[in-house]
Amino acid sequence: MKLINRIMANEEAFHLVLAASIGVIGGLVNLVFFFLVNLIQWVIFRETDNPAVLAQGLSAFERIIIPTLGGLLAGFVLLLRTHLSGSKKVTNVLEAVAVGDGRLGMRATLIHAWSSLLSIGTGASIGREGAITQLTATFASKWGQFHRWQPYRLRLMVACGAAAGLAAAYNAPIAGALFAALVLVGNFSMNLFAPLVMASVVATMVSRFWFGIEPWYELPESIDYGQAARFSQMGWFLILGIISGVGGAFFLKSIQNAQSATDKCAWPSWAKLGLAGLAVGLIALVFPGVWGNGYEITNQILHAGSSETGFSGLIRGSVLSNLPAWQISLVVLAGLLVAKFVATVCTVGAGTVGGVFTPTLFLGAGLGAAFGQALGLLGFAEGVDIPEVGILEEWLGFRNDTSGEWRTPTAAFALVGMGSVLAATTRSPLLAMILIFEISLKYELMPPLMIGCVVATLVSQKLYKASVYSAPLHRRGLVVDQESRQMGSATDRCIGDVMVGPTSPIKETAALPEISNIFLNSPRNYLPVLSADKRLVGVISLQDVKAHLNAGDELRAVIALDLMRPVGTALTPNLQLMDALPEIMESEMEMIPVVNSNREMHLVGSVSRSKTLGLMSEAIANSSEENLI
């Protein structure tokens, strides 16, 4: 009992215990979600397998009708959110952490998860990691809400949930922790990063108990990947990084355009998702591999260069499987890449619930492999023959030819392409490097992988401002700038890290007696005033009410709208403490309101002026002492 009390008294230790518990939840959510997807597949197909493999064995009619009906059902489920989830609550994990108070809606999330299950089980071009991450984060958030913990702790718990969900889904604990730290929290201070690591590790261990420790993507062992890291090959990987950056930006822009088009359309969600399923089904007639998240086809791309069948197996089951053009590997890869691109854009753009992590890896593998094949076709790569239809044998990925020169393996280009496109869409090259290493365990490829990821990120951010995760917030004016969220100590923490709940907000229609009673029973000198849609519209000062505290019935008609003054200072959760320091010092309010954005002005919490200034003074003093030492 004494040990428990000590842990509860030490906040950092308590957060580690919470993170470990959230990790267990993440591992179990991954397991349950996996079995539910298999259950849906068994009901429909009477067998369970990767959707792309299932599609190859179906008739043309079944390939079209199953994803179409799945989209219709998933859309009908989404309609339940309007009737069952009550008031519209936040379901976006990044919004809850970066610009919110850490509160996620449980009913809306469960509805989204059920819709995602139906989509994934019927072949939608979407990944399961999105629903797993959101579910785990929501369970963590609800746990904190149940105990009425402050927003700074809720935000940390949501980040731990996201880290646990991703780590469990990909068997990648380092990538899970980095994802939450880089994309969600934007801070590597140990009081935040340590719980993220704990949640990721525990979730991975729980997941490994059922699924084992094997790497997510298996690579042919007969290939010496170290040859891809030769200095003479770095130029090709740099070019691949540039192409990946352009491709990643085009992918993000295409999704945005598709989402904008569907948002303008007044059709119900079931019609939109049904049409998206129909599009996937039609594409699958020629390229069955577009079904599902793309995991199985990505593995086949990685192995195709060293297999006897080459890349022809990628179009197995196609209604055009006898087309002579399929004898050219580049044609197969280019066609599959375009098909998956269109299928994913249609699926995500229509509003299908799920993740784009795995489909992005598919696109990267296809792009990298196609690039490698193009080098061989053009005769640019070292010791590579030029394949021509009907004359030359299938180009193998890597071997020693008669002249003694080395060929760079296609699998190496595919892996670097996976990391580069992922970096281009997430704007987190470090995350992409670590994830590709964890799912492949090929350390030899780190040099070209690092080059490709960094170059792709730089190119992509020049062409498209937002990442795949921040794009929905950018469209609403909730700008999340990952560049401004740095690693560091207390001086680099943001407002959300010290934010607590909002201070006694009152409605703009509140009468003077109600306002007076709140001031008489509260130590606060200012009260935030909210509109009917929960927007911060002003503040009321104690000085403004003092003259009327003992007023009679003649002033009962006076409401908050008559007494309030404009909001002088309103902070946002993602604002750095150092950047907010001038506004905090100038403010007369002890509890300064925090809003989700200066555009929407939804009140999400407050920060104590005195405590924040004390924290900053202590951090600056410690920094000065370290410099003196």
CA dihedral 545, 550, 552, 558 (to 10 degrees): 10
User: Where in the chain do CATH 1.10.3080.10 domains reside?
Assistant: 2-48+85-211, 236-267+286-478
For residue range 218-249, list pLDDT tens digits in order.
777 666 666 666 766 788 899 999 999 999 99
Handedness of CA 58, 123, 174, 233 (dihedral sign): positive
Q: What is the mean pLDDT of residues 503-532?
A: 79
**pLDDT number for residue 611:** 79
- CATH superfamily for 236-267+286-478 is Clc chloride channel (1.10.3080.10)
pLDDT band of 373, cuts 50, 70, 90: confident
Name the 3-class secondary structure at 507.
Answer: strand
Mean pLDDT for the stretch of residues 604-614: 79
Give me the pLDDT at residue 254, please: 94
| Alpha helix stretches (DSSP H) within 265-400 | 269-284, 295-304, 329-349, 357-378
In angstroms, the CA 402 to CA 400 distance is 7
Residue 394 has pLDDT above 50, yes or no: no
Buried b (16+ CB within 10 A) or exposed e, 611-623: ebeebbeebeeee
**Out of 43-47, 416-420, 600-604, 620-624, least confident range:** 620-624
Is the confidence at residue 522, as pLDDT, over 60?
A: yes
Specify the range with the lowest mean pLDDT, choosing from 40-49, 473-482, 596-605. Answer: 473-482
How many whole angstroms separate alpha carbon 302 and alpha carbon 297? 9
Bridge partners, 605 (sequence order): 594
Nearest Cα to Cα of residue 485 among 209, 180, 220: 180
Q: Tens digits of per-residue pLDDT, 265-287?
A: 888 889 999 999 999 999 999 99
Q: Which of 6-10, 55-59, 441-445 has the lowest mean pLDDT?
A: 6-10
pLDDT tens digits, 532-570: 877 888 888 877 777 666 655 656 667 777 777 887 777
Cα dihedral 511, 516, 521, 523 in deg (nearest 10): 110
Condensed to tens digits (0 to 9), the pLDDT of residues 169-225 reads 888 898 899 888 888 887 777 888 899 999 999 999 998 888 877 767 777 766 666
Which top CATH class is 491-628?
alpha beta
What fold does the segment set 2-48+85-211 form as a domain?
A: Clc chloride channel (1.10.3080)
Instruction: Tell me which of 83 and 598 has the higher pLDDT.
Output: 598
Q: Across the chain, what does the average pLDDT equal?
A: 81
Contact criterion met (CB below 8 Å) for 353 and 115: yes
Tokens encoding 86: 């009550």
pLDDT score of 445: 82
- 3-state helix vs strand vs coil in the chain, percent to 5: 65, 5, 30
The answer, yes or no, to whether residue 454 has pLDDT greater than 80, is yes
Is residue 6 very low, low, confident or very high in pLDDT (cuts 50, 70, 90)? Answer: low
Is the pLDDT confidence value at 62 over 70? yes
Choice among 79-88, 187-196, 556-565, 603-612 with the minimum mean pLDDT: 79-88
- Residue 339: the pLDDT is 94
Q: Please report the pLDDT score of residue 403 as a whole number.
A: 39
Higher-pLDDT residue of 60 and 486 is 60
* DSSP helix/strand/coil, 576: strand
Q: Which of 150, 143, 89, 91 minimizes the C-alpha distance to 115?
A: 91
Say what the pLDDT of residue 629 is: 46
pLDDT for the residue numbered 402: 37
Sorting pLDDT into bands at 50, 70 and 90, what band is 381? low
How many CB atoms neighbour CB 553 within 10 A? Answer: 7
Q: Which long-range contacts (CB under 8 A, 24 or more apart) does 256-261 make?
A: 256/471, 256/475, 257/349, 258/345, 258/346, 258/348, 258/349, 258/350, 259/348, 259/349, 259/351, 261/349
pLDDT tens column, 101-113: 788 888 888 999 9
Of 340, 11, 2, whose CA–CA distance to 150 is shortest? 11
The whole-number pLDDT of residue 107 equals: 87
For CA atoms 231, 237, 239, 241, the dihedral sign is negative
Q: Where do you find CATH 3.10.580.10 in the chain?
A: 491-628
Percent of the chain at pLDDT exceeding 90: 32
> Which long-range contacts does 329-335 make (Cβ < 8 Å, 24+ apart)?
329/304, 329/373, 329/387, 329/394, 329/395, 330/370, 330/373, 330/374, 330/377, 333/301, 333/366, 333/369, 333/370, 333/373, 334/370, 335/286, 335/287
- 213 burial class (0-12, 13-18, 19+ CB within 10 angstroms)? exposed
Q: Are strands 591-595 and 506-507 parallel, antiparallel or unpaired?
A: unpaired
- Does residue 387 register a pLDDT over 60? no
Residue showing tokens 């801070």:
187
Q: Which of 56-65, 479-488, 585-594, 611-620 has the least mean pLDDT?
A: 479-488
More confident residue, 394 or 601: 601
* Separation between Cα atoms, residue 625 and residue 434, nearest integer Å: 35
Rounded to an integer, what distance in angstroms lies between the CA atom of residue 382 and that of residue 88? 58
